[in-house]
A and B are shown apart, each in its own frame.
Chain A
Amino acid sequence: MIAQDEDMEVSDVLDRVKTGVNAFDELVMGGLPRGRTTVVGGTPGSGKTVFATQFLAHGITHYGENGVLVTFEEPPVDIEANMRSFGWDLPAWRKEGRLAFVDASPSASDEMVVGDYDLAGLLARIDHAVKTVRARRVVLDSLTQLFDHFIGDPKILRRELFRISSALKKSKLAVLMTAERNNEYGEITRHRLEEFVADNVVILRNVLHREKRRRTIEVLKMRGSHHAEGEAPFTLLENRGVVAVPLSSLRLEQQSSMVRVTSGNPAIDEMCGGGFFRDSVTLVSGATGTGKTLLVTNFLAGGVAAGEKSILFGYEESRGQLFRNASGWGVDFAQMEAEGKLKIVCLYPEAQGLPDHLLTIQGLVDEFKPSRIAIDSLSALERIAPDTGFREFLISLTSFIKKREIAGLCTATSKSLVGGESVSEQHISTLTDSIILLRYIQEQDRMHRGLMILKMRGSEHAKEIRRFTIDNTGMHLGDRFEDAPNVFTGGDPEYRR
């Protein structure tokens, strides 16, 4: 039987079938190969049925490829009800002849299995459904249920599933089968199904990490094809289904623009060599009260004054506070919003997981189409994230901002009042193009505020540390500090002459 399967390895270029989960299709170099069987393994509640249904729904809505859903677990009526919230109208497609069910859910009648048998009944029903709707995609959800149904010799089932898989592949169908796993990081599937039916193996995980749910998708094996390695985070969204976050480290294809935009403060523009680059991400780092939110306000107002639309995602302060702060510096956020030039979105970091935050940002940016975006602050988001999750979030966020060719400004709060690095700085410093430090600097018996440009990718910039003051018209840069303080270690007297 194995040899016969090997003979089918003829197609030189595999025809790719898009799953409807864009970031996943990228992981597998364009989609799942047609004429192959993919096993999607996951623990209960990991999103297998949603992923599988999306695979069918996407074919129906985007490619005119009809589908067959073989359900071993829930009756079709339950699946139709459960999938409605993802925006998939299964009953309508069924009535239009674009989707057919094979209902193999447990029946009420008593059944006894004795000796040898085959699954010709199931295969005949699948064949019949495929022919009826002229399907090109087939889902079997989930195979594990079949093993619970036909308890006894698992060898018979394995042989039969292999037969079904081979038959469907011969008909040039794209086949997706789901299977249950017992543990997130253990054997691939119960009954080791993947060993005898799968050309490709995909794992969905739903891991509890530091009291946060973290869903990921991983491609374990793709026969005769390359795939990206690693776990890509994903989330389940209303009206969209599975939405994965791309491992954007895959490609670094952003073009860099030489167009400068204003920071909203002419003196800072001058220090940066003429302003920020349009498709760059700038990090403003400073202790609490040093003026980060003021720089954000200037950045947004500067954009609006230049006729650009700006968006702010605030994770620390409420809208009311932000509006009050801004008007304290002579900036009227309410007026700007009323004119449709500004959008301010305030969210509790804890309201959702990081992948969801990222999708919220992406969704609103694509809807509002701003030319600049500010995030205040990354430190607040870092608070809710598992370590690897935050880095992935930053990579995805910065690459998204650059892809959209908009100017980004993010803030990070340093933990000590005078100098020192925050964890997010360590993460983000390599990912951002420019870094502005805001520091409290002691001079004799007085505390001053100091600003310096630490890094400005692709440009000259001022190297000195400038004092600045804040009043009811905003930020004012003054002289440089002559007696150069150490902004990294702060008020350590050893560094002061």
Chain B
Amino acid sequence: MIDPILRLYVAGTSATARRAEKQLAELQARIHPACKVEIIDVQERPELAEKSGILATPTLAYESPERSRRIVGDLGDTRRVLDFLGIELKGKSA
């Protein structure tokens, strides 16, 4: 069985990219058990963007054997993001 993975696609080192990376770190802190995370710069690895069909950045893709879901744009609303991706929050109470 393949472990679920969170992939963040960003473009270069723009302010938007840095903000998305920060937001990803905040998301990570709230996921339990910890999930594998990968950051892909589409400008350096366009072939990976092609393979996954990425059009927009930032895109956060959650790929698990059961489902594949993506969020494009602002990842600041942690709760909404995790809810949409179908990832359980740590402690469930927050």
What chain B residues lie within 8 Å of A124 (beta carbons)? 11, 42-43, 46, 49
Closest to A111 in B: B70
Asked if B29 is an interface residue, CB under 8 A from chain A, the answer is no
- Provide the bound-state CA to CA distance between A114 and B74, in Å: 5
* Smallest beta-carbon distance A36→chain B, Å: 24
> Which residues of A are found within 8 Å of B55, using beta-carbon distances?
104, 119, 121-122, 146, 149
Residue interface mask B47-82, A partner, CB < 8 A = 1 = 101100111111101000001111111111100100
A103–B47 Cα gap in the complex (Å)?
12
**When the two chains form the complex, which single residue of B12, B42, B53, B84 contacts A112, counting CB atoms closer than 8 Å?**
B84
Docked-complex contact A110 and B69, CB < 8 angstroms: yes
Shortest CB-to-CB span from A143 to chain B, Å, is 12
- Chain B residues near A125 (CB-CB < 8 A): 42, 46, 49-50, 54
CB of A13 closer than 8 Å to a CB of B? no
Given contacts A109-B69, A112-B71, A112-B72, contact A120 B77 (CB under 8 A): no
Residue on B with the closest CB to A128?
B46
Binding site for A on B (CB under 8 A): 9, 11-12, 16, 42-43, 46-47, 49-50, 53-59, 61, 67-77, 80, 84
Return chain A residues, CB-CB under 8 Å to B75: 114
- With the chains together, A111 CA to B52 CA distance in Å? 13
Instruction: State which residues 189-234 of A face B: CB under 8 Å.
Output: none
A120 touches B12 (CB 8 A): yes
User: Closest Cβ of chain B: how far from A99's Cβ, in Å?
Assistant: 15
A127: B residues at CB distance < 8 A:
46
Interface check A107, CB cutoff 8 A: yes
The residues of B that contact A118 with a CB separation of less than 8 Å are 11, 16, 56-57
**Considering the chains assembled together, what is the distance between the CA atoms of A114 and B58 in angstroms?**
10
| CB pair A111 B49 closer than 8 Å | no
Complex CA gap A118/B12 in Å reads: 12
Contacts of B59 on A, CB cut-off 8 Å? 117, 121
How far does the alpha carbon of A426 sit from the alpha carbon of B51 in the complex, in Å? 63
Name A113-143 residues within 8 Å CB distance of B.
113-122, 124-125, 127-129
| A56 interfacial contact with B, CB 8 Å | no
The yes or no answer to A21 lying at the interface (CB within 8 A) is no
Bound CA span A110–B68, Å: 7
Question: Which 3 pairs of residues, A with B, have the shortest CB-CB distance?
Answer: A115-B74, A120-B11, A128-B46
A121-B69 in contact (CB<8A): no
Report the bound CA distance from A124 to B52 in whole Å. Answer: 13
- In the assembled complex, which residues on chain B have CB atoms less than 8 Å from the CB atom of A115? 73-74, 76
- CB closest chain-A residue, reference B80: A114
Residues of B close to A104: CB separation below 8 A:
53, 55
Select one of A109, A111, A121, A150 contacting B42, CB under 8 A: A121
In the bound complex, how far is the Cα of B61 from the Cα of A118, in angstroms? 16
* A-B pairs with beta carbons under 8 Å apart, 19 shown: A103-B53, A107-B53, A111-B70, A111-B72, A112-B69, A113-B72, A113-B73, A114-B75, A114-B77, A115-B74, A116-B73, A118-B16, A119-B55, A121-B9, A121-B57, A122-B56, A124-B49, A125-B50, A149-B55
